[in-house]
Amino acid sequence: MSDPARAIAFHVLRAVAERDAYVNLVLPAMLDEHHIEGRDAAFVTELVHGTIRRQGTYDAIIGQVATKGIASIDPPVLDALRLGTHQLLNMRVPPHAAVSETVDVVRREIGHKPVHFVNALLRKIGQKDLDGWLEVVTAGLEGDEARAVRTSHPLWIVKALHEALGGHGAQIDKLLAADNAPPRVTLVARPGLCEPDDLPGIPGTLSPYARILDAGGDPGAIPQVRDGRAGVQDEGSQLVAISLAEAQVDGSDTRWLDLCAGPGGKAALLGALAKQRGATLVANEILEHRAALVRQGVRLLGNVEVTTADGRHGPWEPASFDRVLVDAPCTGLGALRRRPEARWRREMADLDELVPLQTALLTRALELVRPGGVVAYATCSPHLQETRGVLETVTAGRDDVNIESTHQWWPHIDGTDAMFCALLRRS
C-alpha cells in the first residue's frame, strides 16, 4: 500500500457496509494491525468518521456529477468516491492530493477499470467548494427536506428530531450541526474507587464525576480506566444513573436493579453509588456477550450480581426492589455524533419492534419495584414514540404510578448525548 492511511479508511468503510461492522470496533483494530499512530491515526479517524457522517450530502453531490446517477455505481467505488469527496470538501487536503491518492486507492484495492471514472468525477467535484455544492443539491428543497441533505441525516430522523424539539427551526439546525461535530471523550470516576481529580481532563458541566478530555488519544491507556476504577461514559448517561440514585424512596433502600445493563456503563456507576449506601445491585442483561462486558465493568464492586435473563420475564419476585433502572433498547438517535454509521442503519420501521419492547420492559419494572420505590426509564433517543409515548401507554389507567419528573438532555444545549430520563414512583 503506497498510502496505508487512506487504504485503511477504505477498508473500514467496506467493513461497515458489507459486514455491518461498528466503526468504534473495527477502526482501532485496523490501526493497531498496521501500526498507525499519532497524526496518521488522527487523519484516518477524521477521514472515516467524517465520510460516514456526511455520506448523505456526499451521495447527493456524487449523484449530480455521475451521468447515470448514484445507483449505477458499484458500492466499493462509491465508498472511494465518498472518501475523496470528504477530502476535497471538508479536510485540509490539497485538491490534487485528494484526487490522486483516492485514485491510487481505487487502482490498488479495486482494480484499474474504475480509475478513469473516479478521477473524472472527483475532478468535477473539486470545481466547487462545499457551500457551492450545497446550493446545487438543495435547490428546490425546503424545510426538513433541505436540512436532511445539507446536514446528512435521513429525512425521517430530521422530522422526528424536529418534532421532539417542538418544531423550533433554530433548535433543529443547532442539533443537526451538533450531530456532525466530533464529540470529546468523557470519563467517569466511579465513587469509592476513584476521585474525579485523579483523572486527566477538565471537570464536566453536569455530572460531579465527569472529566472531559481536551485532546485525542486512547482513554484505555489511562490507568484508572484500564483497571476499572473509572470508565468512558457520556455525561448524559452518568446523569441517568445519578438521577435514579438521588431520587427519594420511602422505607428500605437496599436492593437495586438494572434491568437492561449491557454494556455496563450505567451499572458500574449505579453499583458504585449503591455500595456507598450499603445497597446491592442486580445488573441484568439478556445477551451473554454483553453480560460479560457488564462483569468486566463492575469487577471491582463486590455488591453487584450480574444475571442473564430476558428483562420482561426474569426470575424476580414482584415488588422486590427499591430502585429499578430501565435503560431500554432504542433507536439510538441521541448518540448519532458518537456512532457515525447509526443514522444510516436505523429505519422508521424499527420503532414497530422497539416501542412494544420498551413498553413491556417499563411495565415489568413497575411490577418489580415495591410501593414507595422508584423506576428510572431512560432512552438514548429523544423520539417521542420512545419517550413520552411509552410513558403514556404504560401509565394510562393506572392510579398506582406517578410520573415524578422527565428530563431530556441535548447535544447542542447540554453538550451530552440526547438522553431522556423519567422517574416514576409506585404508590
Whether 12 is covered by a domain: the verdict is: yes
Question: How do residues 299-344 score in pLDDT, each as one tens digit?
Answer: 999 999 999 999 999 999 999 999 999 999 999 999 999 999 999 9
Within-domain flag for 173: no
Question: Would you state the pLDDT for residue 1?
Answer: 46
Are 121 and 264 within one domain? no
Mean of the per-residue pLDDT values for the chain?
96
Instruction: Tell me the catalytic residues.
Output: 380
Mean pLDDT in residue range 66-75: 95
The one-character DSSP state at 184 is P
- pLDDT surpassing 70 at residue 216: no
Last residue of one domain, picked from the residues 117, 137, 157: 137
Q: What is the mean pLDDT of residues 285-301?
A: 97
Residue 367, number of CB atoms within 10 A of its CB: 15
> Per-residue pLDDT averaged across 30-54, rounded?
94
* Domain harbouring 85, CATH code: 1.10.940.10
Residues pairing with 256 in the sheet: 281, 323
Q: Which of 90, 107, 137 is the last residue of a domain?
A: 137
Residue-wise pLDDT for 249-264, tens only, equals 989 999 999 999 999 9
**Cβ atoms 374, 256 nearer than 8 A:** no
Give the residue ranges of DSSP H helices in 369-415.
Answer: 388-395, 411-414
Scanning the structure block, which residue is given the C-alpha cell 498510502? 3
- DSSP letter at 70 equals G
Residue 11 pLDDT greater than 90, yes or no? yes
176-187 residue pLDDT tens: 999 999 899 999
Residue where one domain finishes, among candidates 118, 137, 156: 137
- pLDDT band per the 50, 70, 90 thresholds, residue 272: very high
Q: What is the mean pLDDT of residues 123-152?
A: 98
Within 8 A by CB and 6+ apart from 268, the residues are 190, 228, 231, 297, 298, 301
Residue 206 lies in a domain: no
Q: Is the pLDDT of residue 128 over 80?
A: yes
Range of the domain at 345: 233-426
The pLDDT assigned to 2 comes to 58
Beta carbons of 262 and 329 less than 8 angstroms apart: no
Are residues 362 and 244 part of one domain? yes
Q: Does one domain contain both 249 and 371?
A: yes
pTM (2 d.p.): 0.94
- How far from 371 is each of 249, 278, 281, CA to CA, in Å? 9, 21, 18
Asked if residue 237 and residue 132 are part of one domain, the reply reads no
Confidence (pLDDT) at 423: 98
pLDDT digits (tens, 9 = 90+) for 171-210: 999 999 999 998 999 999 999 999 999 999 999 999 999 9
Q: Note the helical H segments in 180-227.
A: 223-226
Torsional sign, CA 206, 208, 209, 214: positive
Look at residue 193 and tell me if it is in a domain.
Answer: no
Domain count, the chain: 2
More confident of the two residues 38 and 145: 145
Judge if 272 and 385 occupy the same domain: yes
Do 260 and 371 lie in one domain? The reply is: yes
Same domain, 267 and 394: yes
Average confidence (pLDDT) over 155-178: 95
